[in-house]
C-alpha cells in the first residue's frame, strides 16, 4: 500500500496573486480512499474569503481583458508546459485523492489538463473576435469575472476545462475546487504564480458548496458561474445565481446508453462497453452505464460482460497490476452498495460482482458489478450510481433501443455499435444527448462537451468552450 510521506497542510487561499490567511479558523480533512488516512488539511473558506477573491478578480479584469491575444496565448502555453513537466506529481496526487490507478491517472488525469491549456493558443490565433455585418462591427468580448465550481472525480481536468478557456477569453477567475480532491488546484495555483500571470487573474478559495460555492454563485461581482457536479447541486447553483441574472453554465449528471445493434461484433462491443462503464471506478459522468443489447443475444452478452468484469484487478492504485481502484469515500461506497442491493431487490439478474465487501483491511472498494435483465423502470436503469455498476437492458429492435435510450432525464453521452457506420450514424442522430461515440471512438478533447435535458446547459472544451466565456456586442457605424 502506498502512502503520502507526511500530511500536507495547505492552510492558505490564493487571492490577488498571494497566499493569504483565511478569515475563518475551520479546516477540512482530505482522505486517501485507499488507505482511509488523512493526507491533507485545507481551509474551510468563508463568504468573506470569497468576497476578497472576487474583489481581486474584479480589479484584475480591467487590465487582463485588454492583454493582446498573443500574450494570453503565450501564458496559456507556459501553463501547459509546466503542467506537462509535473505530470507524474499530478498523477500521484490524484491517485491519493481519488484512487484512479496510477497509469490511468498519468494518461487521463494529468494528460487531459495539459491538453486543455495547450489547445487554447492555437484556438486563440485562429478565432475571429470581430466581424463586419452590414453597417455593424460585431465584437466578442470577455464576459468578466467567472466563478468556477468543480467536482472531485477528474479534479484538475474539470478545473482546466473552465479556467483555460476563461483565461483565454480574457476573463478572470475565482475557483472553488472540490473539498474532496483539492490538491491539484493548489498545484495549478503554484504553476500560474510561477508563470507570472498578473495578480488577481486566477484565485482559489477552498471550502464547501453550501458556503463557498453559494457565495460565488450569488456574488454580484461574479458575471458568470461555470459549475460541474450533480444535477441536484446544479439546480441550486442556478437558483442562487438567478438572483443576479448572471450566465450559468452547467455540466451535470448522466445515465448514458450504449446501444449494441444486431450486426455489431458483440464480443468487442460488450467488452469495450464494460470498460467505458468502469473507468475511474465508474465515477465518470459520461460513463456508459446502460448497455442495450438485442434480446436474442442477451445470454451471450451476459457471459462476455461477466468475464470482462471478472478480469479486473481491484486494489491499490499504486500497484501496477491494479485496473480498478476504490471509490472516493465511505459515503460513496455506501451509496453504490445501496444501489446494488436495490437492483437485486427489484429483480435484476446479478451476473457479476455484488454488494459484498472485498477482502481488504481498509479502502473504499466496490466489486465490479454487472446486472442483466434490467427493465427501463428499475432504479439502477434510471439513477446515476457513480460506481462500477453496469445495467444490461434487452431490446427487440432499433426503434425500441432508441426509445429506451432517450427515456431518461439525462442526455450527456452515448454509444452506438454497428458493422454499418452509416446505420450507426443515423441512429446516433436520433439520440437526445450531447455526445455519441460510434464503435468505441476515442474521446475528443477539442469537441464540444455538455448535455441535453437535465445533464446541463452550455458546452466546454475547444472553440465551443471558449465561446461560453464571451459576450457579443454590435457597434453600428
The helix/strand/coil state of 420 is coil
Contact criterion met (CB below 8 Å) for 21 and 12 = yes
> H/E/C letters for each residue in 189-206?
HHHHHHHCCCCCCEEECC
Residues designated as active site: 251, 285
- Give the contacts of 173 (CB within 8 A, at least 6 positions apart): 57, 145, 146, 147, 148, 162, 163, 166, 167, 201, 202, 203
User: What are 449's strand-pairing partners?
Assistant: 460
Q: Are 162 and 461 in contact (CB under 8 A)?
A: no
Half-sphere exposure of 43 (CA within 13 A, CB side): 24
Cα gap 460→364, rounded to integer Å: 31
Residue 334, C-alpha cell as written in the block? 455506501
Grid coordinates of 272? 469495450
What are the residues whose beta carbons fall under 8 Å from the beta carbon of 170, sequence distance 6 or more? 64, 65, 66, 67, 72, 141, 142
Q: Extract long-range pairs of 67-75: CB within 8 Å, 24+ residues apart.
A: 67/170, 69/124, 69/125, 69/129, 70/125, 72/124, 72/167, 72/168, 72/170, 73/120, 73/121, 73/124, 73/125, 73/168, 74/121, 75/167, 75/195, 75/196, 75/197
Note the residue count of the chain: 477
Picking from 376, 404, 413, the residue whose alpha carbon sits closest to that of residue 256 is 413
Q: What are phi and psi of 131, to 5 degrees?
A: -150, 155
Sequence-distant (6+) residues with CB within 8 A of 452 are: 411, 412, 432, 433, 434
Amino acid at each position: 500500500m502506498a502512502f503520502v510521506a507526511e500530511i500536507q497542510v495547505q492552510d492558505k487561499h490564493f487571492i490577488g496573486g498571494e497566499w493569504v490567511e483565511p478569515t475563518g479558523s475551520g479546516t477540512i480533512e482530505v482522505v486517501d480512499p485507499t488507505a482511509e488516512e488523512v493526507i491533507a488539511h485545507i481551509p474551510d473558506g468563508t463568504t468573506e474569503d470569497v468576497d476578497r477573491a472576487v474583489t481581486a478578480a474584479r480589479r484584475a479584469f480591467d487590465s487582463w481583458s485588454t492583454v493582446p491575444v498573443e500574450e494570453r496565448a503565450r501564458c496559456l502555453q507556459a501553463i501547459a508546459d509546466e503542467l506537462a513537466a509535473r505530470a507524474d506529481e499530478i498523477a500521484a496526487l490524484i491517485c491519493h485523492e481519488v484512487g484512479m490507478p496510477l497509469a490511468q491517472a498519468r494518461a487521463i488525469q494529468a494528460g487531459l489538463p495539459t491538453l486543455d491549456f495547450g489547445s487554447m493558443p492555437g484556438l486563440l490565433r485562429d478565432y475571429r473576435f470581430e466581424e463586419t455585418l452590414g453597417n455593424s462591427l460585431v465584437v466578442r468580448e470577455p464576459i468578466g469575472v467567472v466563478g468556477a465550481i468543480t467536482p472531485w472525480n477528474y479534479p484538475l481536468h474539470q478545473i482546466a476545462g473552465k479556467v483555460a478557456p476563461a483565461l483565454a477569453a480574457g476573463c478572470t477567475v475565482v475557483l472553488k475546487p472540490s473539498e474532496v480532491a483539492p490538491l491539484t488546484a493548489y498545484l495549478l495555483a503554484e504553476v500560474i504564480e510561477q508563470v507570472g500571470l498578473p495578480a488577481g487573474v486566477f484565485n482559489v478559495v477552498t471550502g464547501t458548496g453550501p458556503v463557498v460555492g453559494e457565495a460565488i454563485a450569488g456574488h454580484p461581482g461574479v458575471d458568470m458561474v461555470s459549475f460541474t457536479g450533480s444535477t441536484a447541486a446544479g439546480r441550486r447553483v442556478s437558483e442562487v445565481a438567478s438572483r443576479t441574472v448572471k450566465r450559468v453554465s452547467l455540466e451535470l449528471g448522466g445515465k448514458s446508453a450504449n446501444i449494441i445493434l444486431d450486426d455489431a461484433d458483440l464480443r468487442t462491443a460488450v467488452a469495450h462497453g464494460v470498460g467505458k462503464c468502469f473507468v475511474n471506478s465508474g465515477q465518470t459522468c459520461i460513463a456508459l452505464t446502460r448497455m442495450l443489447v438485442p434480446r436474442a443475444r442477451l445470454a451471450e452478452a451476459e457471459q462476455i460482460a461477466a468475464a470482462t468484469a471478472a478480469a479486473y484487478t481491484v486494489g491499490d492504485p499504486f500497484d501496477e497490476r491494479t485496473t480498478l481502484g476504490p471509490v472516493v469515500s465511505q459515503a460513496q461506497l455506501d451509496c453504490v452498495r445501496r444501489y446494488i442491493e436495490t437492483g437485486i431487490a427489484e429483480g435484476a439478474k446479478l451476473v457479476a460482482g455484488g454488494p459484498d465487501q472485498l477482502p481488504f483491511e481498509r479502502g473504499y472498494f466496490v466489486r465490479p458489478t454487472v446486472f442483466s435483465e434490467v427493465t427501463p423502470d428499475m432504479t439502477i436503469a434510471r439513477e446515476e450510481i457513480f460506481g462500477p455498476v453496469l445495467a444490461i437492458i434487452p431490446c427487440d429492435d432499433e426503434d425500441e433501443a432508441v426509445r429506451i435510450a432517450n427515456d431518461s432525464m439525462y442526455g450527456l453521452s452515448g454509444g452506438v455499435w454497428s458493422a454499418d457506420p452509416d446505420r450507426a450514424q443515423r441512429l446516433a442522430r436520433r439520440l437526445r444527448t450531447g455526445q455519441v461515440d460510434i464503435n468505441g471512438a476515442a474521446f475528443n478533447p477539442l469537441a464540444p462537451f455538455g448535455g441535453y435535458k437535465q445533464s446541463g446547459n452550455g458546452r466546454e472544451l475547444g472553440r465551443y468552450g471558449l465561446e461560453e466565456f464571451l459576450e457579443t456586442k454590435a457597434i453600428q457605424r
